[in-house]
Amino acid sequence: MTSITHRITGVILFVGLIFAFWALDKSLSSPAGFDAVSDALANNFLAKLIAWGLLSALAFHFVAGIKHLLMDADIGVTLEGGVKKAQITVVVSAVLIILAGVWVW
């Protein structure tokens, strides 16, 4: 389950780059643009939700990517090791997602 979720979060991050690059471009275009992006991220529910969603996808994708790198290095490639690493991936990702939510909200 973590492998397919890793792929899904990769797609979410790819699509989410549209929002991130738009916000970056707008914030760097002028002081008024920076204020608009800052205000949106501080006061707009949808902007906060998108930011939290992207951070959540990034957190899971990062942790699952480390799991895949360990598998590529033949570390814990047994069935039990795979299950344990998947559980660790979900728990660590959940903690990071909660921390991202606290930071954004």
Query: Domain spans of the chain?
Result: 2-104
Question: For 76-97, how does the pLDDT look when each residue is reduced to its tens digit (9 = 90+)?
Answer: 889 998 899 999 999 999 999 9
Amino acid identity of residue 102, one-letter, is: V
Fold for the domain defined by 2-104: 3 helical TM bundles of succinate and fumarate reductases (1.20.1300)
pLDDT category at 54 given cuts 50, 70, 90 is very high
Structure tokens at 62: 């990062």
Q: What is the pTM of this model?
A: 0.89
Q: DSSP assignment, residue 25?
A: H
Mean pLDDT across the chain: 95
Structure tokens at 18: 């549209």
Question: For 33-50, how does the pLDDT look when each residue is reduced to its tens digit (9 = 90+)?
Answer: 999 999 999 999 999 999
Known binding residues: 61
Known binding residues for heme: 61
